[in-house]
Amino acid sequence: MEKAIIYVISDSVGETAEFVTKAALSQFMNENDYEIYRIPYVENTEVLRGAVYHAKQLGAMIGFTLVNPLFRNFLLEEAANKKVECVDIMGPMLQAMERKYHKKPIQKPGLIHKLDEDYFRKVEAIEFAVRFDDGRDPRGVDQADIVLIGVSRTSKTPLSQYLAHKQLKVANIPIVPEVEPPSSLFEIPSHKCIGLRISPEKLNDIRKERLKSLGLDDQAIYANMSRIEAELDYFDSIIHQLGCPVIDVSNKAVEETANIVLSMINQPYWDLHGNQVNE
């Protein structure tokens, strides 16, 4: 038995048409019994005319996703004239949605792939934030769009995750007096780094609550005011060396801090790669 041949035609990549075609074919035959010829990025009717001609010669059928109604109508008419089986995979759905929502489709190919690209960039940013959280791998400093620094309990991790959902690759570095920050922190452009400052009193409250939630004594050194003040003094000394912008997070929700970060990085005088931009 000769293999079944199906032409898949699209004014974009053609993945949707091929996926639907394969799903339907699976109800009739296995993968060894058919071949799919994909014709993507159709830009004129001559390509469609040629596809119908070859389909006729090979006894093939056609499945297509064309958002341009002129292309859809031309292909259907040409296939009907040549008596080639031709299936409009997307057209009926577009027409139904046009009736339902009382609006015209944009008629721009490839929009779903743009959404997919945005999705994968977001996933990549989230994975980056997890990998380079809390200074566990200092190599993230060089690769990040933004580096957050601050003492413990200044919301570095949740802020990194929130910004990752905005497709930003964020690394965060804890500032601890006994531990030298990675040398790469002092080599990146200063505006790529953002310090998170907090008042001693607020930090004391947060750390006490954290210790209680862990079933520990809230008088531990972690929540001791002298220790907190020493950590914040060290933080200020690092900020002074870096010359980077600072956000006071004492009374701010993560979302509020994130919006400030986003507004800072969107200022016209610098970009995420440290390139100076004319005001």
Structure confidence at residue 11 (pLDDT): 87
pLDDT band at 106 (very low <50, low <70, confident <90, very high): low
Residues β-bridged to residue 150: 174
pLDDT, tens digit, for every residue of 40-72? 889 899 999 999 999 999 999 999 999 888 999
The residue count for the chain: 279
HSE-CB for 192 with a 13 A CA cutoff: 24
CA 105 – CA 97 distance, rounded (Å): 8
Q: How far is CA 246 from the centre of its chain?
A: 26
33 pLDDT tier (thresholds 50, 70, 90):
very high
**CATH placement of domain 120-265:** 3.40.50
4-109 and 120-265, same CATH topology: yes
pLDDT of residue 109: 66
Q: What is the pLDDT of residue 94?
A: 78
Which of 55-59, 145-149, 156-160, 214-218 comes out lowest in average pLDDT? 214-218
pLDDT, mean of residues 87-101: 85
Note the pTM of the prediction, 2 decimals: 0.60
Model confidence at 9: pLDDT above 70: yes
Domain boundaries of the chain, sorted by first residue:
4-109, 120-265
* Residue 77 · residue 24 · CB < 8 Å: no
Q: What are phi and psi of 137, to 5 degrees?
A: -140, 105
**What's the fold here for domain 4-109?**
Rossmann fold (3.40.50)
pLDDT number for residue 105: 72
* pLDDT attached to residue 111: 58
